[in-house]
Chain A
Amino acid sequence: AQSVAQPEDQVNVAEGNPLTVKCTYSVSGNPYLFWYVQYPNRGLQFLLKYITGDNLVKGSYGFEAEFNKSQTSFHLKKPSALVSDSALYFCAVRDPGSARQLTFGSGTQLTVLP
């Protein structure tokens, strides 16, 4: 079975400060991991993915994520938050060794305060 957890429903950060949105996962093999962002009344937008290789993955809008196999985590990060980064963020996992579809976390609402 595969699962993903986003332990924080809400993250608040001041504009200009670094931000982290946490994600942990569980799969039987090596995971494919994804981050998505959703603005109000919009569809989910793909930000970045980890398949293999470098543990630090860079994505859209200055976001990056760090894969940590020992901690089974894939936290989303940005060095300097913008007010426009305020949105709902979803982590997702897929076990490439199975035919299962992506499993999404419950989402984390990020609010960047001016």
Chain B
Amino acid sequence: SQTIHQWPATLVQPVGSPLSLECTVEGTSNPNLYWYRQAAGRGLQLLFYSVVIGQISSEVPQNLSASRPQDRQFILSSKKLLLSDSGFYLCAWNTLRGGAGELFFGEGSRLTVL
């Protein structure tokens, strides 16, 4: 069965510091990978997605970047965090091969920028 791992679960960082959130998927190959942010409140904002290794699509301009160094690894980064980067970050994966394309989410990373 497929699993998705996301870490760290909680992170407190000062403004101006770098960020690296990691996500890995096991039990499948060539997944589509996604980073979402959920700000205080509830809405999900799609930040980045990748359908193949080395290719990243950005949905909104921002202080963050994403990379996919391996097929099942997705990394969210920032060189200098802003207060507005605080939020709950969710990694997800799906496949459109023979299915409806439902997303499967990691447990999330809570980032607080002080």
| Chain A residues within 8 Å of B, Cβ to Cβ | 32, 34, 36, 41-46, 49, 51, 88, 90, 92, 94, 96, 101-102, 104, 106-107, 109
Assess A46 versus B104: contact at CB under 8 Å? Given A41-B110, A88-B42, A101-B49.
yes
Q: CA of A94 to CA of B43 in the docked complex: distance in angstroms?
A: 17
Are B106 and A43 neighbours in the complex by a CB distance under 8 Å? yes
Which chain B residues numbered 50 to 106 have a C-beta less than 8 Å away from chain A? 88, 90, 92, 94, 100-106
Q: Tell me if B46 counts as interface (CB < 8 A to partner A).
A: yes
Question: Within the complex, what minimum Cβ distance (angstroms) separates A38 from chain B?
Answer: 8
Main secondary structure, interface of A, reads strand
B107 CB, nearest partner CB in chain A, Å? 5
| Chain B residues with a Cβ under 8 A of chain A | 6, 32, 34, 42-44, 46, 49, 88, 90, 92, 94, 100-108, 110
Q: Which of A41, A43, A102 has the most CB of B within 10 A?
A: A43
Instruction: Give the chain A neighbours of B92 by CB distance below 8 A.
Output: 43-44
| Cβ–Cβ contact A51 & B100, under 8 A | yes
23 A-B pairs (CB sep. < 8 Å): A34-B103, A36-B103, A36-B105, A41-B108, A42-B108, A43-B105, A43-B107, A44-B92, A46-B102, A49-B100, A51-B100, A88-B42, A90-B44, A94-B100, A94-B101, A101-B32, A101-B34, A101-B49, A104-B43, A106-B43, A107-B43, A107-B44, A109-B42
For the complex formed, measure the closest distance between the CB of A29 and the CB atoms of chain B, giving whole angstroms. 14
